[in-house]
Structure 1
Amino acid sequence: MNQDYIQSHPWSIIEEGFDKERIKSSESLFSMGNGVMGQRANFEESYSGPTFQGSYIGGVYYPDKTRVGWWKNGYPEYFAKVINAPNWIGIDVSIDGEPLDLATCTNIKNFKRELNMKEGWYRRNFVATTPNNVEIEVVATRFLSLSHDEVGAIQFEITPMNTDAEIVFKPYIDAGITNEDSNWDDKFWNTTNIESNKNRAFIESHTMKTHFNVCTFMQAHLVYGDTIKETPDSLNKEELAIGFEFSQKIKKGEKVSLIKYGGYAVDRNHDANKLMEAANSVLDEVSSLGFDKLLEEQKKAWAAIWEMSDITIKGDVKAQQGIRFNIFQLNQTYTGTDSRLNIGPKGFTGEKYGGSTYWDTEAYCLPFYMATKNQEVARKLLKYRYNHLDKAIENAEKLGFTKGAALYPMVTMNGEECHNEWEITFEEIHRNGAIAYAIYNYTRYTQDYSYVPEMGLEVLIGIARFWQQRVNWSTHRNKYVMLGVTGPNEYENNVHNNWYTNYIAKWCLEYTLEQLNYVQQEYPNDYKRVLEKTQLSNDETGLWIKVAAHMYLPYSEEHGVYLQQDGFLDKDLVRVAKLNKKERPINQHWSWDRILRSPYIKQADTLQGFYFFEDHFTEQELEKHFDFYEPFTVHESSLSPCVHAIQAAKLGRMEQAYTFYLRTSRLDLDDYNKEVEEGLHITSMAGTWMSIVEGFGGMRVRDGKLCFSPKIPEQWDRYSFKINFRDRILKVTVAQSGTIITMNEGESLEILVNGEPIILDQQ
């Protein structure tokens, strides 16, 4: 049974009632981020119950030495940990000498959390009785500033309800933190300096091995009535932490507030020797504004984001809440301001998976950022991969590939592979194809071809070289084959001729050859430069042509479908519907051996190919493959429901498409996979957006033209979304009665709606 404590609301995530069993889950669901830093929804005050502390800084990581039972040549030396950064949110509180701790308080009532997605803030309030019988009301509000992205702000308000009380606030910053998932219990941080100045405090530290220098900072002051108390009563300085003490006697029914600003200055953006100066500078800026004005800035910044990226749904509050939660988290994770950053699978909400970049970015996230931002944001994601090309070539060299063959990593922080499960590291090589597909997808959508001659052609050549070297010639089949791979369905390892992998390899070779010809004709200077740099020869491209033309693609004449891989039909083909529901999800109940021998598909595999290359197949072929593979799909990857929602909608199966949409949009809110306490599934959230825009809206780009084939679930009255297409802002509104598409900005454009041409002009 899925969790159901999150209340339905179109613009907010709301929890009411205090339950110790769901603390960790809520810490994930109410997480905040601003593209540069992130924070789980941990309590500011002490909490002695189970909790998962999490503060994160974009691009800052630790290379945790690989730990495996048996070392294999080619293993990455480390697994990149998204590390828990020094804690800036802490505010210990005592009431007449008794620590405030919800694990020890009694009569907790009116407990409520709200994550206001429209305005970008998080608030928690409750009434509780401390062990010394003082009843207090607490309202704690915080946000991570989008306009000042190195800082977060907290307003912590307390009102004694049944008596006068002395309240002591102890705001602090703490570098004595650990990761829950350390391989060797290494010390990730080295603290070098702790200082204070009036009501400001600073901890300078650096990561071990990677030596990212960080200054964690804070500033705090007390507000009681018309009195502002900026000077702390005392200073508490420890080996790894520093804090202040503000004490105030409060009359019954009156409110006292602590305002705290905190965050990080990092040497990725500042001189490593002047981090404290940078911290003071940002504190000067935000403290001169004050909490209320800073919050107003936050509301305006989020209003600008929602103006372009919002999707409205009328008639279905759960569906509305789900899509906005996904869009909100995507915008909290990546803003496009820094091409050195990317979209981690957990974003700023947890430590699991490590790394900042998976193939998810190219396969799922790029369309969202292309359509809801200006194209420069998407271009930065492609530039990120170009900047890592040398590392991709090194990754391939470590596995025995030569002559500039490039294997992009499954998991990375800096371009270097850092995933240490052999069946992924060595075998899930289809990720290379997603990089090439993203280049195609970007140029197709934006018509910005400049990326290819400037950067992309070198990437494509490296990828094509890898595929050509990775195949074997089979005299038995008289074809090129691909042995020992893992497809998108990670419930199959070390299989031969995964159809999706073979197909995308074939496509990559053909696409690279096309781009070589185009760049030669249209950008001869770039063509000459790239050929000289890569030393590409006619003999080599001739071999690419041969491999692409003779790639083996497993097919079943009996079923009339491409086979997921060799031997798929040897499995016991029992459909998912016949599984015991008590054994679901199977990855939490079955042995890995049993899973590997089963026909069950974690996520779209063959159907992933039909999603990417939809135009290569007829709708009848899609239908046949969908009907064959979906019944064996357990959807135990967050990336699975969205692809199936899009394809079900294309096939006109709206009830099924709607079910898949709800699953992808509420995957974390309803905790389908029973793991939300570990963090949110950020990259799959882009798939939720695709489920509506590409699924229900039927948006495609074909022959250079924007096309729509809109459909609407019967549960909805109408829905609408905006897209930025080649510097034109279009608004699409689909109702039960019909579709309206308007041009909000930009020059006139001819589009196709259900195959009929329509000219759009600005209103």
Structure 2
Amino acid sequence: MHQDYIQPNPWSIIEEGFDKDRIKSSESLFSIGNGAMGQRANFEEHYSGATFQGSYIGGVYYPDKTRVGWWKNGYPEYFAKVLNAPNWIGIDLWVDGEQLDLNTCKKVVDFRRELHMKEGWYKRSFVAIMPNDVEVAIEATRFLCLDTDETGAIQYQIRLLNVDAEVIFLPYLDSGIKNKDSNWDDKFWNTTKITSEKNRAFIESHTMKTNFKVCTFMHSELFLDGNKSEIKPTSKKDELSVGHSYVVDVKKGQEVTLVKYGGYTVDRNHPADKLIEAADTVLNEVSSLGFDGLLEEQKKAWAQIWDMSDITIEGDIKAQQGIRFNIFQLNQTYTGTDSRLNIGPKGFTGEKYGGSTYWDTEAYCLPFYMATKNQEVARKLLKYRYNHLEKAIENAEKLGFKNGAALYPMVTMNGEECHNEWEITFEEIHRNGAIAYAIFNYTRYTEDYSYIPEMGLEVLIGIARFWQQRINWSENRNKYVMLGVTGPNEYENNVNNNWYTNYLAKWCLEYALEQLEHVRQQYTTDYKRILEKTQLTNDETGLWKKVAAHMYLPLSEEHGVYLQQDGFLDKDLVRVADLDKKERPINQHWSWDRILRSPYIKQADTLQGFYFFEDHFTTEELEKHFDFYEPFTVHESSLSPCVHSVQAAKLDRMEQAYTFYLRTSRLDLDDYNKEVEEGLHITSMAGTWMSIVEGFGGMRIRDGKLCFAPKIPEQWEMYSFKINFRERIIKVTVSQNSADFEIDSGEPLEIVVNEKPITLSA
């Protein structure tokens, strides 16, 4: 059973009715962000029930010392944690001496939340009967500004429904916060200074160890029946928090509104000794515009984003809501304005996975940002990895690799590996291949070859060196083999010859050789510089050729498929359909030992290789592998259904493709994996976009041309999307009986639709 309380709506996420058991799930689903920071949808006022408090700042982290049972050589020293940052949204409220707390109210009615995705704001409203029988109606609206991304704004309105009463508002800042997922209950923050002046307050603090300096700030204003009040607040301070108390006598039916602006200035962007000045400047800017003025700016900024990235679906409201929710969260997480930032699997919605960068960015997110933004944004994601090349070489050295071999981290904040499960840290090395694949994917899509001589070739050389050192020659097989790895399917650890990893390694070596030759011929100066820097020799490249040519790829003659790994057929091959439903998801019901011995696949593994390298295989081969592996796939990774949806569509299995699409697009809204309270699955949301554009739209790049093979699920009347292809905007509209392609401006463009060339003119 999936959860089913989110109201179907094309542009909004809506919850109606107050249910304490749903609080943490909704805090995830209604999260807001602006690329620079984000926050879970915690209540502004005090709440004594079960809640997961979370505010996060992009790029600010703490190296939490690794905690393992037995230390092994090569373990990362720490696990990077995205930090729960000082809280600026708090507004405590007392009515006639009683504090408002929805957990202790006699009754809460007309409770409603809405996340308005089209305009980028979140609103909560309710009527509460407090323990002292006072009835209050509250409406709280908030958003994080896209344009001035260091700030957010809250409008908190209260009306007394049955009495006149004294009301006290206490907007506050609090730096006494903790991470839910701390390994050793370390103190992550040190508060150094608290300042309060008139209606503004500032908390200066820094992170322990990493020493990021942050100023958390607020500015508040009070309005009575829409008019600005002259009531002066009194300041309340302790060693970790500061608040401003406004005491107001309120008549029954009167509306009182507190407007609060808040946010963070960080020494990543300002001089460390000028953070309060920077905060003052930004507060002057936002307070002069006012809440309504800022909201207008917010609507315009989101309109611009949606103009390019929206996907419309007619005839299926849940599918429409699902894809927009995914696109909205992707844009809240990463805007592409800061090349030091990347996309964490939970974005700004929770602490799981440390908020760091995984291979998900290159494998799943890059296509979305390439096609819905300009190519500069995608280039920044590649530059991020180039900037970390030295660290990737260090990571490989720690494991005994030499001569500039680079192993990119499984999890990172600054290029250093900080994941501490050995079977993933040391063995899930396929991540290296995803980095190389992203370079190929980017140049294929944009035709911007300049990235390779400028940065990419050095990355490819480091990766090729790693693969050449990681394999070994098997006399027995007369081939190069790769032992002790974990593929994308983490339900098989420490296996030999994972087909996906071996195939990827072979391809990386061939691709690196190809690019070396291209740069040698076309970019002589860069070629000389790179050879000098990397000390690459002909002996070395000769070895790469040999390894690529003699790589072992496990194959079952009997089944006519590549084997996921050497021992796959030794398993008890019971299909997922024959499992007891009560035992699903297996990761919440089975021991890890039982999972590892089972044939069950957490996410597309062999099929991930078929997705990346579709052109290397025939459709018949894809079908054979899909039919063999999909029945054993439990899809307990958020990254699994999207790949299967794209492939099912290619195989003309539209009902299956649609089911997978719905699962990927509503993974969090319907809480398929029963874990949404921990945060959203941001990186797999890009896979949802792929399901429509590459799956149903059939978009591919072949021989430098944009190709489509459009299909439509029978549940839909029509769908449309836009893509930015080499600075040209193409709009694709597919209905049950036609497919239309438009181009906005510029020279005519030749595309291929269902194998036939077509010329588009503006």
Task: Settle same-fold status: TM greater than 0.5.
Answer: yes
Query: In structure 2, what is the equivalent of residue 328 of structure 1?
Result: 328
Aligned partners of 2:742 and 2:760 also within 8 Å: yes
Query: Could you tell me how far apart the structure 1 residues matched to 2:473 and 2:143 are?
Result: 58
Deviation at 1:107, TM superposition (A): 2.1
Q: CA deviation at 1:229?
A: 2.9
**Aligned position for 1:422:** 422
Please state whether the residue corresponding to 2:352 is helix, strand or coil: coil
Deviation at 1:355, TM superposition (A): 4.0
Q: Is the 8 A contact 1:495 1:565 kept in 2?
A: yes
- Measure, in 2, the Cα distance between the counterparts of 1:679 and 1:742: 38
Deviations 1:557-586 (A, max 9, x none): 000000000010000000000000000000
Unaligned runs of 5+ residues in structure 1 are none
- Residues 1:66 and 2:62 aligned together: no
Q: Which SS does the other structure have where 1:467 is aligned?
A: helix
Counterparts of 1:226 and 1:126 in 2: how far apart (Å)?
A: 20
> Matched residues in 2 for 1:211 and 1:747: separation?
52
- My pick for the range that moved more, 745-754 or 505-514, is 745-754
Does residue 1:496 correspond to 2:492, yes or no? no
How many equivalent residue pairs?
762
Write the distance in 2 (CA, Å) between the matches of 1:747 and 1:333: 34
1:526-537 equivalent positions in 2, closer than 5 A: 526-537=526-537
Corresponding residue of 2:129: 129
Distance in 1 between the 2:29 and 2:688 partners? Answer: 17
Q: In 2, distance between residues paired with 1:5 and 1:148?
A: 34
8 Å contact from structure 2 (residues 199, 233) kept in 1: no
Q: Deviations over 1:117-167 (max 9, x none)?
A: 000000000001111001010000000000110001000000001111211
- Distance in 2 separating the partners of 1:399 and 1:230: 65
Q: Which residue of structure 2 aligns with residue 357 of structure 1?
A: 357
What whole-Å deviation, never above 9, does each CA across 1:490-533 have from its counterpart, x for those lacking one? 00000000000000000000000000000011101000000000
Matched residue, 1:141: 141
Alignment of 1:748-759 (within 5 A): 748-759=748-759
1:739 matched to 2:739? The reply is yes
Partner of 1:637: helix, strand, or coil?
A: coil
Name the residue aligned to 1:224. Answer: 224
1:632 aligned partner, one-letter code: F
Q: What secondary structure sits across from 1:354 in the alignment?
A: helix
Alignment of 1:27-426 (within 5 A): 27-225=27-225, 227-229=227-229, 232-426=232-426
Instruction: Provide, for residues 457-492 of structure 1, a one-character-per-residue CA deviation record: whole Å limited to 9, x for no partner.
Output: 000000000000000000000000000000000000
Query: Would you say 1:631 and 2:631 are equivalent positions?
Result: yes
Q: Are the counterparts in 2 of residues 729 and 746 from structure 1 also a CA contact under 8 Å?
A: no
SS of 2:722's partner is strand
> What is the Cα deviation at residue 23 of structure 1?
0.1
Cα contact 2:411–2:418 (8 A) shared by 1:
yes
The amino acid across from 1:524 in the alignment is T
What does residue 512 of structure 1 align with?
A: 512
Give the match's secondary structure for 1:623: helix
Closer, same or farther: CA 759–275 of 1 in aligned 2, 3 Å = same
CA contact (8 A) 1:126 1:139 kept: yes
CA shift, 1:238, in A, is 0.6
**Matched residues in 1 for 2:620 and 2:225: separation?**
71
1:693 aligned partner: 693
Matched with 2:457 is 457
**In the alignment, residue 631 of structure 1 is paired with which amino acid?**
P
Query: Whole-Å Cα distance in 2 between the matches of residues 3 and 599 of structure 1?
Result: 28
The match for 1:21 is 21
Give the aligned partner of residue 675 of structure 1.
Answer: 675
- Which amino acid in 2 is paired with 1:659? T
Cα deviation, residue 744, structure 1: 1.5
* Maintained 8 Å contact 1:125/1:137: yes
Instruction: Confirm or deny: 8 A CA contact 1:199 1:230 kept in the other structure.
Output: no
Describe the superposition over 1:624-655 as per-residue Cα deviations: whole angstroms up to 9, x where unpaired.
00000000000000000000000000000000
d(CA) in 2 for partners of 1:583, 1:226: 56
Residue pair 1:221, 1:230 contacting (<8 A) in 2 also: no
Report the secondary structure of 1:282's partner residue: helix
1:718–1:733 CA contact under 8 A, matched in 2? yes
Alpha-carbon distance, 1:105 to partner: 0.8
Q: 1:110 to 1:26 in 2, by over 3 A?
A: same
Aligned to 2:663: 663
3-state secondary structure, aligned to 1:244:
strand
Quote the Cα distance in structure 2 between the aligned partners of 1:348 and 1:104. 29
1:476 and 2:489 are equivalent in the alignment: no
Q: Distance in 2 between matches of 1:504 and 1:86?
A: 43
1:747 deviation in Å?
2.3
Following superposition, the deviation at residue 756 of structure 1 comes to 0.5
Task: Kindly provide the amino acid, as one letter, of the partner of residue 758 in structure 1.
Answer: I
Query: What is the CA–CA distance in structure 2 between the aligned matches of 1:490 and 1:618, rounded to whole Å?
Result: 27
Paired with 2:374 and 2:233, the residues of 1 have a C-alpha distance of: 50
Residues 304, 732 of structure 1: alpha-carbon distance in 2 compared, 3 angstrom cutoff: same
Question: How far, CA to CA, are the matches of 1:586 and 1:347 in structure 2?
Answer: 26
Query: For structure 1, which segment, 232-241 or 180-189, has the greater mean C-alpha deviation from structure 2 after superposition?
Result: 232-241
1:374-418 CA distance string (max 9 Å, x none): 000000000000000000000000000000000000000000000
SS of the counterpart of 1:350?
coil
C-alpha contact (below 8 Å) 1:221/1:231 kept by paired residues? no
Which residue of structure 2 aligns with residue 708 of structure 1? 708
Equivalent residue number for residue 722 of structure 1: 722
Whole-angstrom distance in 2 between the partners of 1:200 and 1:536: 59
CA distance in 2, matches of 1:444, 1:80: 33
- DSSP 3-state at the match of 1:215: strand
CA deviation vs aligned residue, 1:153-183 (integer Å, no higher than 9, x gap): 0000000011112111000000000000000
Q: For residue 582 of structure 1, give the secondary structure of its aligned residue in structure 2.
A: helix
Q: Which amino acid aligns with 1:639?
A: L
| Offset, 1:28 | 0.1
Contact 1:727 1:746 in 2 (8 A): no
Contact 2:348 2:355 in 1 (8 A): no
**8 Å contact from structure 2 (residues 198, 233) kept in 1:** no
**Inter-partner Cα distance in structure 1 for 2:711 and 2:361:** 27
SS at match of 2:354: coil
Any stretches of 5+ residues in structure 2 without a counterpart? none
Q: Quick one: distance in 1 between partners of 2:232 and 2:583?
A: 57
Moved over 4 A (4+): none
- CA deviation string 1:72-131 (max 9, x = no partner): 000000000011000000000011110000001122110000000000000000001111
In the other structure, the counterpart of 2:524 is: 524
SS at match of 1:103: coil
The percentage of counterpart residues that share the same residue type is 81
Contact 1:730/1:745, CA 8 A, preserved across alignment: no
Tell me if structure 2 keeps the 8 A contact 1:108–1:127.
yes
SS in 2 for 1:353: helix
Post-superposition CA distance 1:658-683 (Å, at most 9, x none): 00000000000000000000000000
Cα distance, 1:245 vs. partner?
0.4
Matched residue SS, 1:745: coil
Whole-Å separation in 2 of the counterparts to 1:724 and 1:227: 46
RMSD: 0.6
SS in 2 for 1:203: strand
Please give the secondary structure, in 2, of the residue aligned with 1:153. Answer: strand
CA deviation digits over 1:312-354, x for unaligned, max 9?
A: 0000000000000000000000000000000000000000001
Task: Tell me the CA shift for residue 746 of structure 1.
Answer: 3.3
Per-residue Cα deviation, 1:188-245 (whole angstroms, up to 9, x for no partner): 0000000011100000000000000000000001100254236533110011000000
Contact kept, 8 Å, 2:168 with 2:245, in 1: the verdict is yes
**1:368–1:226 Cα change, 3 Å:** closer
The answer to whether the Cα contact below 8 Å between 1:728 and 1:747 also exists between their aligned partners in 2 is: no
Whether the 8 Å contact between 1:146 and 1:298 is mirrored in structure 2 is yes
Kept in 2, the 8 Å contact 1:162–1:252? The answer is yes
| TM-superposed deviation, 1:356 | 2.1
